Amino acid sequence: MVGIRNAERHSQSIRDSWERCSHQHGLLPSTRRPVLRLQMSELSPRSQAFRERIGGCVQDLDHLADLAMRAGSCLVVTDRDRVLVDLRSRTGTVADYATYGIAMGSCWDEKIAGTNGISMAMGEGGAFTVRGDDHFHSCFRPFACTSVPCLDAESSVIGALTLVTTDRRNAFDYVFAQHALSLAADRLQARLFHRHHAPHLKVRISDPAGGGTLRPNALVALDDAKRIVGVTAFAAHLMGARAPETLIGQRLEALFDLDLEALPRNPDPVLHLRLPQSPRAAQRPAGGGTRGLGAGLRRLAAQGPDMALLIDRARKLVAHGSPLLICGDSGTGKSQFAEGLLEDLGRQKGVMLAMDCDGLAANPAQAAALRSALDQARRLSAAPDDGCRPVLWLENVAALPAEHQAELAQFLTGLERAGQLEVRPGQTAAQGVVILSTVRGDWQELATGGLRPDLLHLLGKAVIRLPNLRDRDLSKVISALLDQHRPPDISLSPETEALLHAHDWPGNLRELASVLAEALVCGNGQRITAADLPARLHRCPTDAPPPEISLRDALDSAGWNVTKAAQIMGISRATINRRIAAEGLARPR
């Protein structure tokens, strides 16, 4: 998922940079104007050299700059020496940024400017956000800067693209910046690769681990003999190579047992190729059944044929771009269902804008975050990436206050008018926003006052109602939940099965998972007996008396501690010993 990287790793990188700034570079956080600027005589040849390196790709920067200015950000372009060679911002704001040293010719090397996004991204080799308080110099702390390295046709670093904005401490801003910059950098490298290898056949390959998605810079160039003459670092990574140069001269057909001549050619001179196998990850098998599902959906599908049918239906609806409303009582697994669908789409490479609408009315900061999420979703849908659609996930959407319902309805109406919510039978939506929402209850409850009618029908172009636990195949649900534990061969006593099937499960899947987890902790971890279950399950809701706990179950639950087994059964220790002898039981070895 595009966004702030692993939190601990990100924090450690910031701490390491601060350590270098203090002890290696000798910088002081209180320095008011730390940035050095080159003279115009030094800057002009640098700017010209950078423009020559990116050739005719200025239009990509123009598009990114327009997007940045509409978002209230400033686009900064630096060369490989971290010198600012291009700056785009709204009219009248250039002087304001210059007050802080963000101006043409300024140098953003860490040794001078301290911890900043440009140096961090180029040092880390990937997208990096330095938030306000992450900056070493206090004068930069009003800003957040997100940077992405720019690569040429041979994957050498030629500079960086950066978005600078006032830091609102809103994670959605960082997500949007990383997505927009990564997409622009990918497209820039792709253009440079096409230009550098103009005479050659180009193949753009998919990422099997990302759901078969195609990125613009996953490129391989082939000569007439189908030998590799050029490959980007990202494509080499997908192909399992340690470095691009190790693939030069090899035949792509031989590497993956392909027939390139049999592939259909597009109008452009680029073949789109999904690798039949990958050293990094196996392809999901084609066809029906659960083998092609991700782990989350596979666990849910194992709960019975009805769940498998629901999953199949939901996958088709989401793939075709239909907003999906997931209904169900508390504990039926709505969030797990949504997470499984996103995993199935390969959303680890997407942009997630998630929001829990419960309690929004009492939290102004959450209300502002919702508006920001909708705004970011609009921008991301205006700059889509192939196979990398942004996700808007709203949990407990029925709890939205009336004013926010109006904002969400306006957003969805805009998407509908743009054709992004139009479902075309037989076609899969490759772009646009993936919209998922969850709600307690069912459609009828929403239709009688939970949501305003226009929003209800915009969100509910497709509705999935998850059944309560009592309406599922309980034996299969129990087996699916136990399969997640170790050791995998956990068994249930007949009395335990009877108690579990007799319970009404008002808490649904969540309650069952808690009961099984408690039983595994309280028992011997290998066999769940009636004695291991919580007391409330022994109070059978029917007129039938609860099953009696057997001597063997009591002993297994107590780990063959006779005193504890006697307490479980409510009899004396002497009686327990007599019954053990009478039944010929022996402590397991």
Query: Does the pLDDT at position 376 exceed 60?
Result: yes
How many Å apart are CA 38 and CA 400, to the nearest integer? 53
The string of DSSP letters for 351-405 reads -EEEEE-TTGGG-HHHHHHHHHHHHHHHHHHHS--TT---EEEEESGGG--HHHH
pLDDT attached to residue 540 = 53
- Block residue for tokens 């500079």: 159
pLDDT attached to residue 30 = 93
Report whether 529 contacts 493 (CB < 8 A): yes
Q: How far is C-alpha 434 from the chain's CA centre?
A: 12
Residue 16: name the closest of 5, 4, 25, 6 by CA.
Answer: 25
pLDDT attached to residue 224 = 82
Report whether 215 contacts 234 (CB < 8 A): yes
Residue with the larger pLDDT of the pair 547 and 295: 295
This prediction has a pTM of 0.60
Segment holding 318, helix H or strand E = helix 305-319
Residue with the larger pLDDT of the pair 266 and 63: 63
Q: What is the pLDDT of residues 154-187, one digit of tens each?
A: 999 999 999 999 998 877 788 878 888 988 899 8
Backbone angles phi, psi at 423, to 5 degrees: -95, 120
Query: Does the pLDDT at position 528 exceed 90?
Result: no
Alpha helices in 418-550 (DSSP H): 443-445, 453-459, 474-482, 494-502, 508-522
How many Å apart are CA 454 and CA 461, to the nearest integer? 11
Query: Does the pLDDT at position 298 exceed 50?
Result: yes
Q: Which two tokens stand for residue 482?
A: 């136990």
Q: What is the pLDDT of residues 8-30, one digit of tens each?
A: 788 999 999 999 999 999 999 99
Kindly tell me the burial class for residue 284, based on how many C-beta atoms sit within 10 Å of its own C-beta (0-12, 13-18, 19 or more): middle
Q: What is the mean pLDDT of residues 342-348?
A: 65
Q: How far is C-alpha 92 from the chain's CA centre?
A: 38
Q: What is the pLDDT of residues 199-243, one digit of tens each?
A: 888 888 765 554 445 678 889 998 888 889 999 998 888 888 878
- Degrees, nearest 5: CA angle 420-424-425: 150
Query: Does the pLDDT at position 353 exceed 80?
Result: no
Residue 438: name the closest of 341, 540, 301, 543 by CA.
Answer: 341
pLDDT grade for 260, boundaries at 50, 70 and 90: low
Classified as helix, coil or strand, 146 is strand
The string of DSSP letters for 79-98 reads ETT-BEEEEE--TT-HHHHH
Q: What is the CATH number of domain 472-583?
A: 1.10.8.60
Label the pairing between strands 352-356 and 84-88: unpaired
Q: What is the CATH number of domain 295-420+428-467?
A: 3.40.50.300
Strands lying side by side in the sheet with 213-222: 228-231, 213-222, 201-207, 270-273
Report whether 243 contacts 249 (CB < 8 A): no
The overall average pLDDT reported for the chain is 80
Amino acid letter for position 115: T
Give 3-state DSSP helix, strand, coil % of the chain, rounded to 5: 45, 15, 35
Query: Does the pLDDT at position 308 exceed 70?
Result: yes
- Block residue for tokens 């009961």: 515
Residue 477: name the closest of 344, 299, 334 by CA.
Answer: 299
Residue boundaries of the structural domains of the chain:
7-195, 197-273, 295-420+428-467, 472-583
Q: What is the pLDDT of residues 458-493, one digit of tens each?
A: 888 889 999 999 888 888 888 888 877 655 678 888
Q: In this structure, which CATH number among 3.40.50.10860, 3.30.450.40, 3.20.20.80, 3.40.50.11540 belongs to the domain 7-195?
A: 3.30.450.40
How many Å apart are CA 217 and CA 205, to the nearest integer? 9
